[in-house]
Copies of this chain bind each other. A is one copy, B any other.
């Protein structure tokens, strides 16, 4: 769907992170956490997948972003939007549910989708941007670095969907 100018701006921060991650040799997925307070919006943190950069099993875009945001009061999470360039995996969706983040803006869900039904069942509002830049980032990833992508989503490279460019 067409994003509001505000959502597009914050999704842009996540895309910027994804592109930095790609340049570092990593998985190009980025995120941003934005608090909607009485005095307006505040970007609490941005983050990116750092599997390669940090040798990490848990630093996906969303979790890296939340880790950079640090320990926050529960009430803050409940007034936030999480922006991510790709539909969350179960780990990242579970993190959003843990902290009751009420709204997630998702760059695209064509390349990967594993948690949206669950998030919706928990009352999370999902906005799917169908953003062409986000799709391109993942297409390049799956073409040029399929082994790392498979590792990142817990599948064998041979298990990647036939519809994906690596087939």
Contact = CB atoms under 8 A, between A and B. Distances in A.
> This chain: how many copies in the complex?
2
Nearest to A89: B98
Interface stretch (A3-11, A72-80, A136-144): A72-80
A56 interface: yes
A93 B95 contact: no
A72 B150 CA distance: 12
- Could you say which interface size class chain A belongs to? 35 or more
Contacts of A92: 94
A167 B31 CA distance: 37
Nearest to A64: B58
Contacts of A67: 56-59
Contacts of A56: 67, 70-71
A58 B154 contact: no
